[in-house]
Structures are given as C-alpha cells and as structure tokens.
C-alpha cells in the first residue's frame, strides 16, 4: 500500500488503498485553503472535521473562478496565470500558480501521460499554431495544455500556421523524418478535426505513420453540433494518419495536471491522484454508479488556489471502479455533455468585507449530506 498517492503509479492503486489516502490529502488541502484563502475561509469555516467520505469534502463550482480571484498564496509568489478558453463574450477563469504547484502539476501530468506514451521522449507533432503560446506569465487553456505536454516530446513541430491554415511543408518534413518510428501527436479536439483532419482531406494528403499516438481533448460540443462522433473522429484519424492510436482525455484549466485519459475501451480513467463523484442537480446528493448527474472532480494537486474539489458544468456517469477490461485500477466514467443550464447557486452568503460574495455569485458551500 502506498503511503503517498503522489508517488504512486497512475493506475495501480485499488479503491481500498486509494480512498483513505485521497480523503486525508483532500482534508489537508481544505484546511490549507481555509487558512490561506480568505473567501474560501468565509465559505467553509464551519465545516465539520474530520471527513469520513469523499462526498464530505466541500466544493466550489467552476464558474466561481470567473467571478473571483481565488488564491492561497501571496501575490508576490504568483509565477503564472492560466486562463480558460471560454466562449466569445464570457469572462475566462483565471488560475494562479506558484512555482511549487506548477512543478507538481507538471510532474504528475508527465507520470500520467507516460502510461500511454512510454518514457522515451517522442517526436511531437502539435495540431495548433506557434502563436498559441504568447507569454511566459499567462497562458490560455490551449497554450497551457501544449506547454504541459511538450515535455514529453522532442522535435516539436506545429502543424498549423498562425492563420490556422495547414502547414503542409512542416507536416511533410516531419513525416519524412519520423514517419517510420513512434511519434506523439497532440491537439485540442476541434482544432485537430477542423484544421487538421479536414484540411488534410482538402489537400488530398494522407500520411501513413507506422506508429503514432494522438492525444486530444476539448471541443466535443462543437463536434457534436457537426454530428461527429468519437468513432468517426478516430476512424478519420486512422484513415488519414496511418497506424495511429487515439486517446481522448477529460480535463480543465481549473485542475491542470489532473487529467482523465480514455483507455482502449473508450472509458475515461481516474488516476491515483484524482477522483470523480456524480451529483444530482438541485439536491447535490451523490449518485450511485451508472446514474447520470453533474460531475465533481477531486484532485490532490491544487495548492496555490482552492481548486481541489470542483463541481463542473458537465454531465456524466461513473461506469465502474477497479474492474475495467483494460486492467487499470481506479474509477472509470463517461462524459455525457455540458449542462443545458447550470443552477448551482446553493449559497446566498453575502459578506461585508473586501470583495464580498454577492447573492448572484455561483458557488456551492458544502458537500451533499451535510
């Protein structure tokens, strides 16, 4: 049994060993953020400790990071600010990292991805443009994802020009150099589909890679609007890129590092450092395995900001735990899409001091059953 989940293998810890360690770590993070983040302290000062189950851990809703600056570190220690991509006209989430949290997130992200890519750094084809990374201090979700995963690659090649057109010379040069060996491809789902795969078709260009892995995430809503299923996406990638394994993953800028990668069975897996719960909208009670509801994500990584327990805006359901046909331990689940309308206003606390929470702010201040 591991004594520290952060040192454990990503998919090797069964629930009986994982749950008590995860609960202990999440409780410590809650206390840490109560002590160092004043808005968080105001919300959860009266929480009963110790927690006896994961559903006891209080949670914030993701939109709250669009409404408030939530940090548990002095301003002088902020080394990087991540912003969510968001939709046009909406305020993005802003996530504040110090050097230690950024280093921990990078270390865990590498450990997770090595389970799917191996430990050797592979030539990397990025289905995006170089301009997506513009600042060392502030990154969009796309830029953060590319930067985080670039440590796993070498000979980084961007497949798109800054105007999102296909960079055919760069792609063909990459293929000519590395087409017969293992390669790593990464991109955000809509970018890969719209500006990568569809553009390859328009150019009548097929690349028969001998051994490639494509990791992609995000943008499924746009693809669903175009009636593109995961099966169609994967089949098109294999048609145009040759011998390629395709893995989607679920994650968000509010919990960078804690990503849930889809296995060969198509199931999203919780790593040892994270977990998911499913809650009923309105009552926010925890749903049993197989029942659909709102996803809550738990992570041991966020120390510079109170993002260790978040209620998302996504619907999903848990499919099982420790018994996936792929052989990996941990919960596995599926995402069913975005909530049509998120009504997670379970707290109407209003504070008189600096930067109060208003009645209209979106947040939830306790776990179900409390």
| 84 occurs within a structural domain | no
| 83 occurs within a structural domain | no
User: What is the total count of domains within the chain?
Assistant: 2
Q: Are residues 178 and 104 in the same domain?
A: yes
DSSP letter at 243 equals E
| 68 occurs within a structural domain | no
Q: Are residues 59 and 5 in the same domain?
A: yes
Q: Are residues 215 and 284 in the same domain?
A: no
Q: Are residues 225 and 149 in the same domain?
A: yes
| 209 occurs within a structural domain | yes
- For residues 275 and 290, what is the distance between their CA atoms, to the nearest angstrom? 16
- Using the 3D structure, point to which of 250, 270, 304 is the last residue of a domain: 250
pTM value?
0.86
CATH of the domain at 196: 3.40.50
Its domain, for residue 148, covers 98-250
pLDDT for 367: 40
| 180 occurs within a structural domain | yes
pLDDT for 221: 61
Q: Are residues 222 and 125 in the same domain?
A: yes
The b/e string for 16-39 (b: 16+ C-beta within 10 A; e otherwise) is ebbeebbbebbbebbebbbebbbb
Q: Are residues 104 and 219 in the same domain?
A: yes
Residues 6+ apart with CB under 8 A from 4: 21
Q: Are residues 136 and 218 in the same domain?
A: yes
H/E element, 260:
strand 260-262
The label of the residue with tokens 């991805």 reads 113
- Using the 3D structure, point to which of 250, 282, 299 is the last residue of a domain: 250
| 90 occurs within a structural domain | no
| 81 occurs within a structural domain | no
- For residues 124 and 158, what is the distance between their CA atoms, to the nearest angstrom? 9
Tens place of pLDDT per residue across the chain (370 aa): 677 899 999 999 999 999 999 999 999 999 999 999 999 999 888 777 888 999 999 999 999 998 889 999 999 999 988 887 654 456 888 999 999 999 999 899 889 999 999 999 999 999 998 887 764 444 566 776 787 788 889 999 999 999 999 999 999 999 999 999 999 999 988 889 999 999 999 999 999 999 999 999 876 566 556 657 888 999 999 999 999 999 999 988 888 778 999 999 999 999 999 999 999 998 999 999 999 999 999 999 999 999 999 999 999 999 999 999 999 999 999 998 888 754 433 322 222 233 333 333 333 433 433 3
pLDDT for 231: 87
CATH of the domain at 289: 2.30.38.10
| 362 occurs within a structural domain | yes
Q: Are residues 6 and 134 in the same domain?
A: no
pLDDT for 238: 95
- Using the 3D structure, point to which of 229, 250, 271 is the last residue of a domain: 250
Q: Are residues 278 and 226 in the same domain?
A: no
Residues 6+ apart with CB under 8 A from 240: 197, 200, 201, 205, 206, 207
Contact present, 24 and 302 (Cβ < 8 Å): no
Q: Are residues 151 and 289 in the same domain?
A: no
Q: Are residues 111 and 154 in the same domain?
A: yes
Q: Are residues 189 and 277 in the same domain?
A: no
């Amino acid at each position: 049994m591991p004594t520290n989940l952060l040192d454990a293998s990503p998919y090797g810890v069964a629930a009986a060993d994982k749950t008590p360690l995860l609960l202990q770590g999440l409780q410590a993070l809650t206390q840490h953020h109560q002590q160092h983040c004043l808005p968080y302290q105001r919300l959860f000062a009266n929480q009963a400790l110790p927690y006896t189950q994961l559903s006891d851990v209080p949670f914030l809703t993701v939109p709250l990071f669009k409404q408030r600056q939530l940090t548990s570190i002095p301003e002088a220690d902020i080394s990087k600010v991540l912003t969510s991509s968001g939709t046009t006209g909406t305020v993005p989430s802003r996530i504040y990292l110090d050097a230690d949290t950024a280093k921990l997130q990078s270390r865990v992200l590498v450990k997770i991805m090595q389970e799917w890519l191996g430990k050797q750094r592979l030539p990397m084809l990025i289905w995006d443009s170089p301009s997506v990374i513009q600042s060392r201090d502030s990154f969009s979700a796309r830029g953060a994802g590319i930067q985080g995963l670039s440590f796993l690659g070498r000979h980084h090649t961007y497949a798109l020009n800054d105007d999102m057109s296909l960079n055919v010379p760069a792609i063909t040069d990459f293929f000519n150099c590395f087409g017969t060996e293992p390669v790593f491809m990464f991109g955000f789902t809509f970018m890969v589909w719209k500006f990568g795969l569809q553009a390859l078709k328009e150019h009548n260009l097929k690349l028969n890679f001998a051994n490639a892995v494509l990791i992609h995430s995000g943008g499924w809503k746009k693809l669903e609007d175009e009636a593109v299923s995961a099966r169609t996406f994967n089949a098109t990638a294999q048609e145009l890129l040759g011998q390629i394994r395709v893995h989607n993953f679920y994650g968000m800028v509010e919990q960078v590092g804690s990503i849930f990668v889809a296995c060969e069975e198509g199931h999203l897996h919780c790593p040892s450092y994270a977990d998911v719960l499913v809650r009923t909208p309105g009552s926010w009670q925890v749903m049993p395995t197989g029942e659909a509801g709102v996803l809550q994500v738990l992570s041991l990584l966020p120390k510079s900001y109170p993002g260790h327990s978040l209620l998302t805006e996504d619907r999903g359901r848990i499919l099982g735990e420790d018994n996936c046909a792929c052989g990996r331990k941990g919960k596995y689940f599926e995402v069913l899409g975005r909530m049509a309308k998120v009504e997670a206003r379970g707290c109407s606390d209003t504070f008189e001091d600096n930067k109060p929470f208003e009645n209209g702010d979106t947040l939830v201040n306790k776990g179900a059953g409390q």
